[in-house]
Chain A
Amino acid sequence: MFPILTRRELLRTSALGFGSLAFAHMMASPASASPSPQSPFPSPHFPPKAEAVIMLMQNGGPSQMDLFDPKPELTKSNGKTANVETYQLGNSDKLMASPLAFKKYGECGLEMSTLLPHLGSIADELCLIRSMYSEHNNHTEALVLLNTGKIFPGRPSLGSWVSYGLGSENQNLPSYIVLRDPEGYNTSGTLLWQNGWLPAQFRGTEVSTQGSPVLNLRPPTPLAPAVQKENLDLLARLNEEHRRSYPFDGELETRIRNYELAARMQLAAGDILDLSKETQETQKLYGLDNTETAGYGLRCLMARRLVESGVRFVQVFPPVKPQSQPWDAHGNVKTDNEKICLKCDQPSAALISDLKRRGLLDKTLVLWSGEFGRLPVSQNGTGRDHNRNAFTLLAAGGGFRRGYVHGATDEVGYRAVDKRVSVPDLHATVLQQLGLDHNKLNWLHAGIDETLTDSRVTGAKVQGELVS
């Protein structure tokens, strides 16, 4: 008679005016009422090159001229006066040569720091964008920009847009998952995976690598499976009874199915944590045998397992200790980077090489990035302050070019000058690789057709040179 199962969503969506593309995806998402077809791309804007994204957040502002962007001129000009925009106190106006050594890696001869031997070992997979730039010198604003396209909180994150646009391939898991250090939040916390004004189902779901992987996945005191089953059976009967009076309120059906999904998630989410299926060799690859790398390594490994399970967007966060912005080297560029590289280099590289050998790198895009770069002048003697004018971003897989360096900064690494890539440019390019047109993936909010990139204002353009 009536397609009652999805009517409510249909109403809502048509009332809000979002396109059939997203609607089709919404229907395919696990939280929706429809028995989702296993078709992840009902009607993409472009032929997709990637199906999933793993974003390895490296917050704090990794130092480009010490890690990814060697500057001989900076070495030569060590101690010379420079005119740069500083942010915090303690900055000198004197250029500071990098105290770290660089090395050519891979067949492509990619130059990176000797502190990054593991990422170096997969250099031929990397697309190194040396000409990224931000708009703000404060961590939160810059992080919010990197994740949502604007510096002001409140807009949906890239992951929300991707899961809104593509839905989930997995009936037992949310499509957008966040893996953070169980010890706490990195700077800006949940602001970085918000759904903004997109529906709440597109918010990043926090999955923990210890304890209960999903919030409230299990009761505070354990219940026997038989007890739980009896409970849910009764609930289903009562809700079905209630629903008979409301055949046109599809939300009630969604709710009934959500209780079923909740039960399935208890099993599926348990499975994600079950590392017994991973070989010793794999666990070692990610550094799970080493206390320095084990925490972040486990999150990288889980990210791979989640993507394998059909999750669309996984956001992985670095360790919060000793500081919640681990790359923020105000004090000592050398020792600060030595410490954090030790924790983050091996697992990041392991993820990329593991995806590669499993044939998943072709359809999975891995991004490795901080929110801004650092200044060529010294701060507090041996550190560097924030710099919104340039930073380096690493991309691998998902159709991005391999063994390729894109763009350049000026001779001291202060400002991106050649082939500058804004954050909205990057977002536009990522969406394209997923088969989504950044100007068409929209949501009507407060009378405005909002998009992730807001290209009318930001001038965002797909950077064709980044992809092959």
Chain B
Amino acid sequence: MRNALLLSLIALSVSSRFALSADGPDFAKEVQPVLAAKCLKCHGENDPKGNLDLRSKAGMLAGGDSGPAMVERDAAKSLLLQRIAAGEMPPKESPQLTTEETALLKAWIAAGAIAPDVPLVEKAGKFDAEGRKHWAFQKIVRPTLPVVTEVAAIRTPIDAFVLKELESRGLQYSAVADKRVLIRRVYLDLLGLPPSPPDVDVFLADASPDTYERLLDRVLASPHFGERWGRHWLDAAGYADVGTTDNDAAIIHPLENRWLYRDYVVRAYNTDKPWREFLTEQLAGDELVDWRNAPTYTPEIRSSLIATGFLRASADDSFERELNTPVTHFAVLQRTSEILANNLLGLTVNCAKCHDHKYEPISQKDYYRLISLVQPVFNPDKWLQPKDRVQPGISPKEQEEINRHNGEVDKQTGELQGQISTLQAPYQIKLAAAKLETIPPAIRADLQAALATAADKRTEVQKYLAEKLGPSIAVKPEEVAAALNETEKKQVSDLQKQIGEKNAQKKSWPNWQVICEAGPPTPTRLLKRGNYETPGVEVAPGFVNVLCDEKGSGVFGVTDSTTQRIVDAKDSRPPYGSSGRRLALAKWLTDETSPAAHLAVRVQVNRVWQHLFGKGLAETPDNLGLTGSRPTHPELLEWLSAEYLQNGGQLKPLLRKLMTSQVYLQTSAVGPENIAAAKTDPENRWLWRMRLRRLEAEAARDCILAASGRLDTTIGGAPIPVEPKPDGTFVIPEKGLPTATSKWRRTIYLLARRNYHPALLAVFDQPNLTMNCTRRESSAVVLQSLAMLNDPVVVEQAAALAERVEKEAGTAEPMRLIETAWQIVLGRLPSAREKQACADLLQRQTANFVTEKQPPEQAAHQALTQLCHMLINTSEFIYIP
């Protein structure tokens, strides 16, 4: 931002100078546009032709290979104008300067060529020094705890940081929330599922002082934790089960076994894999293990390879012939590194594809350095279509073994087939001869000659003969089979059975959607204006300059000029037949000496805060750059980051610390005790109460299924299909599912498309993953209300819920039914007023439903279904309290 400001100040001062001065045209307003339009394409910022940079006066004076381009105040002697006048520049095929434009340049030079000393477009190196000062690019240093007044309100150091800001505004924490609220909050935040009534009872009955901590431990250990927090990561990584841009509702291209990566993520969250390990595996799992030479894939190798599915998030349409073009190839490559930067660095680097970033200290070269790290995988020079990008899910040795085995089987079946042929041969010959007899003798020889000639070599006459008469003399296999005697038939049948048995012994292997470099890397070139048709200078593999320490990127790897491999400077481990570039990238992003690693930790920790508190400490989770939001509590973000680093980058201890803090434990509700705070901070920016948060799409659906009791809690496996319906909606089909309850699996296991989601999920802001998503929208549109009222999925579950309520209540007594329903759906008993309102509804709806055909019991059941449906529709149900 400061750079942008600086530049605009320069521009302002220049133009104001000319507003006052009568001598000569304004450089910024008049001269520069002419140069930009006619000259800078070649003599601009990147790889200027003839080493002549015409962006600034300094550049013109310095000149290029042919000497200075300008002599001040002497247009006639200025090479720039000489070349233009001679018609040599711009080159013939390029747009020429008009007479007015040439006159303008002349007048500008004659008047002394007044212009700012720096190019109007900054060079990359310029903003390094400035950029290095940015808060998010500093090393994480654990801050000292602030001094606060109300020490008693502090449960964890986190509370001190938040309280300091509160106290400075005359605010206080709100009271700790009710235990029923806490257990619901914890379950929804950690699992995305509500606590069951027995869960609630156990928690309420436990009066020991550490009951809450033990609750946290229990819930953190649940295998459903990984489904909830893994989903957050899958968003950030841009995960989809389909490989294409997914732009046709009716055409679905799921990638075989893509879901193995999804399950890897769920497992990694459940086992709380440390950050460095988690990230390194995903970026460079194939460079960590010697999978090429392993006799068999160990669990470690499997996990390392499957983890690299992380890099397969970019949509790739090159499977289609029409789209298997450089445009697509470069887009996949670029999108891959843009998703990485967005997810891991919290920076939007996309602008730097075409030019140096205007607001962030990211140069165009930085962009292509990042590109170079993934280019060996997505190499436009050696493009692999998605079908060729898959990797066998077994070791090369095992593949060889299987191929050998299958070859052996083929050999054996070939022999058996030979025996059949031998048996059939005499009959074949006899039948053929008999058929030939049916052909007039005059053309028999010709026909035989025609059939003996290759189809494309036949003469017109031969073609006619072959087509017309060929079929009538061809002997069909069934004719031969029928001609055999009984013994022979039995023999053939036995042989065929043996062939079938042999073939059943053939083996195959699954394919995985993982990463493998397609041979040695080729040079990465900066693309002028981002266009692959105009490649510029070669860019050596490296990192974003401003996120490297003073020694530069060499610390994390040195490029070997002959092999183009990055050799780790500290670690001589070979990258197992790979370029090592991604291993270097992982190191850059995780090594404690790397500024990038510190930024990456901040980005992650900020998102953890966002998932628990609704907003990040910095509210732009995908932008911690100069243009991003400053954190509300900068020191707290540093403290949490330091804490995360110290505990080895494990999430669960961090969550435990956060969730045992007063800031998390306090109530979200407003009452007489805390309403005064609203006068100072109505938006609750400073967290004097917990924030009320709407459930995400997946959690909303999962909670409905949990309430109805229908939720199938199976973990992992191939995605549950989702199909388009003729009316344009998407549903789980009734037929063809693995089990009867598969349609009630958790939402994370539904087929993940980019653009087409079941209506219930789409209206609750399930994102379209054309790229990735680090912050879910939380909209409140009317279609949500309509979906909750009328979507067949919700209506069906309301009916199931009513059945569950009747069963668990064990009575038809309305008050008991109402209480049971509330406990299941909302985890609490209704107040007297709420209970009365529900009782009134049951009574009136029962009356509404009673007909001659429908006895009161059935009517009462239908009335209960209505009540259950409305409880699911309440705000209380879809908000985390």
User: Are A238 and B876 neighbours in the complex by a CB distance under 8 Å?
Assistant: yes
B533 to chain A, nearest CB (A): 13
- Residue numbers in A under 8 Å from B360 (CB-CB): 447
With contacts A15-B619, A200-B781 taken as known, whether A246 is within 8 angstroms of B786 at the C-beta atoms is: no
**Contact present for A30 and B870 (CB under 8 Å):** no
Q: Are B781 and A2 in contact (CB under 8 A)?
A: no
Q: Which residues of B contact A11 (CB under 8 A)?
A: 683
User: A188 is contacted by which of B248, B628, B867 (Cβ under 8 Å)?
Assistant: B248
Best-buried of B838, B848, B875 by chain A (most CB within 10 Å): B875
8 Å CB contacts to A: which residues of B614-636?
619-620, 622-623, 625, 627-628
0/1 interface trace, chain B 776-816, chain A, CB 8 Å (1 if under): 01111111111101111001000000000000000000000
Q: Which residue of chain A has the shortest Cβ distance to B876 in the bound complex?
A: A242
Task: Check if A208 sits within 8 Å of B870, measured CB to CB.
Answer: no
- Stretch binding the partner chain, chosen from A94-102, A209-217, A287-295: A209-217
Check if A239 sits within 8 Å of B874, measured CB to CB. Answer: yes
- How many chain B residues sit at the interface, stated as a range, is 35 or more
Residues of B within 8 A of A88 (CB): 322
| Chain A window 242-276, contacts with chain B (Cβ cutoff 8 Å), 1 for yes, 0 for no | 11011111011011101101100100000000000
Which positions 811-841 of chain B face chain A at CB distance < 8 Å? 831, 833-834, 837-838, 840-841
Q: Which of A227-235, A278-286, A350-358, A409-417 contacts the other chain?
A: A227-235
Please name all residues of chain A whose beta carbon is closer than 8 Å to the beta carbon of B777 when the two chains form the complex: 199-200
Nearest CB in chain B to that of A210: its residue: B727
Docked-complex contact A154 and B771, CB < 8 angstroms: yes
Given A234-B838, A447-B627, also A247-B620 (CB < 8 A): no
Contact indicator A180/B348 (Cβ below 8 Å): no
Q: Once bound together, how far apart are the Cα atoms of A180 and B791, in whole Å?
A: 21
In Å, the complex CA distance between A209 and B678 comes to 48
Contacts of B271 in A (CB 8 A): none
For chain A, give the interface size range.
35 or more
Please indicate the chain A residues that have their CB under 8 angstroms from the CB of B870 in the complex.
231, 234-235, 238
Whether B359 contacts A447 by the Cβ 8 Å rule is: yes
Q: Which residues of A contact B411 (CB under 8 A)?
A: none
The distance in angstroms between the C-alpha atoms of A205 and B763, with both chains bound, is 11
From known contacts A215-B729, A237-B837, infer whether A255 and B779 are also in contact, taking CB-CB under 8 Å. no
Q: Is B756 an interface residue (CB 8 A)?
A: yes
Which A residue's beta carbon lies closest to that of B786?
Answer: A216
A216 touching B787, Cβ below 8 Å:
yes
Q: Which of B846-862 contact A (CB under 8 A)?
A: 848-849
Chain B hits for A237, CB < 8 A: 837
Query: Does A390 reach chain B (CB closer than 8 Å)?
Result: no
Question: Are A265's CB and B782's CB within 8 A?
Answer: yes
Kindly state whether residue A31 has any CB partner on chain B within 8 Å: yes
Given contacts A138-B322, A446-B348, whether A7 and B728 have CB atoms under 8 Å apart is no
CB distance from B79 to the nearest CB of A (A): 31
For residue A75, CB closer than 8 A to chain B, the reply is no
**Cβ proximity bits B704-732 to A, threshold 8 Å, 1 near / 0 not:** 00000000000000000000001111000
Q: Which residues of A are found within 8 Å of B619, using beta-carbon distances?
A: 15
C-alpha gap A220/B760 in the complex (Å): 14
A183 in the interface (beta carbon within 8 A): yes
Taking the closest CB of chain B, its distance from the CB of A55, in whole angstroms, is 19
Bound together, the chains give a CA A258 to CA B788 distance in angstroms of 11
Contact of B668 with A2 in the complex, beta carbons under 8 Å: no
Q: Which residues in A have their C-beta under 8 angstroms from that of B834?
A: 238, 241
**How far apart are the CA atoms of A194 and B694 in the complex, in Å?**
22
Look across to chain A and name the residue whose beta carbon is closest to the beta carbon of B790.
Answer: A216
18 A-B pairs within 8 Å (CB atoms) are namely A152-B770, A153-B755, A154-B770, A180-B728, A185-B250, A191-B755, A208-B727, A216-B789, A220-B795, A221-B795, A234-B867, A234-B870, A238-B871, A239-B874, A239-B876, A255-B780, A255-B784, A447-B628
Which residues on B are within 8 Å of A, measured CB to CB? 245, 247-250, 322-323, 342, 348, 351, 359-360, 619-620, 622-623, 625, 627-628, 668-671, 675, 678, 682-684, 692, 694, 726-729, 755-756, 759, 763, 765, 768, 770-771, 777-787, 789-792, 795, 831, 833-834, 837-838, 840-841, 844-845, 848-849, 866-867, 869-871, 873-876, 879
Report the 10 A-B pairs with minimum CB-CB distance, sorted nearest first.
Answer: A447-B627, A200-B779, A245-B669, A154-B770, A216-B790, A258-B785, A216-B786, A447-B623, A254-B780, A262-B785
Using A246-B669, A258-B784 as known contacts, list a sample of 15 further A-B pairs with CB atoms less than 8 Å apart, ordered by residue number in A.
A7-B682, A153-B247, A184-B250, A185-B250, A189-B755, A200-B781, A203-B781, A219-B790, A227-B848, A227-B866, A231-B866, A238-B874, A251-B780, A252-B875, A447-B627
